[in-house]
Amino acid sequence: MDIRDVFGDVPGRPDHPDFWLLSQQVLGLDATIENEPDIENIIKKYVDADSLAYTAKQRASRVIDAGLAPGAALPLLAAIYTEGFILGALVEQSRQKV
């Protein structure tokens, strides 16, 4: 069975194995967050939570300082950076298991 048989053929969606790996990890992360709403417990599995929070805030600040987003977007941008880091760690962990 082809994965498109399950999810349908969506124009513009990559058909690369990395896309499906990322999709699988995103769905798994969503399920984890539903069961463990304390994101700090999830982060601590991969990196020091305070270090990641500081780094995420600094990266978000760079985007704001460059004029690419308003200052009010800092929490959202930091959250996106944090989730991206966790997703990257999950993908790497998944690849090491293969």
- Sequence spans of domains, the chain: 47-98
Candidates 30, 12, 19, 16; CA nearest to 86 is: 30
Say yes or no to pLDDT of 94 above 70: yes
- Which residue in the block uniquely carries the two structure tokens 């700090």? 40
Mean pLDDT of 3-9: 72
List phi, psi (to 5°) of 56.
-60, -40
Q: Is residue 49 exposed (0-12), middle (13-18) or buried (19+ Cβ within 10 Å)? A: middle
| Percent of the chain clearing pLDDT 70 (strictly above) | 95
User: Tens digits of per-residue pLDDT, 35-63?
Assistant: 887 888 889 989 999 999 999 999 999 99
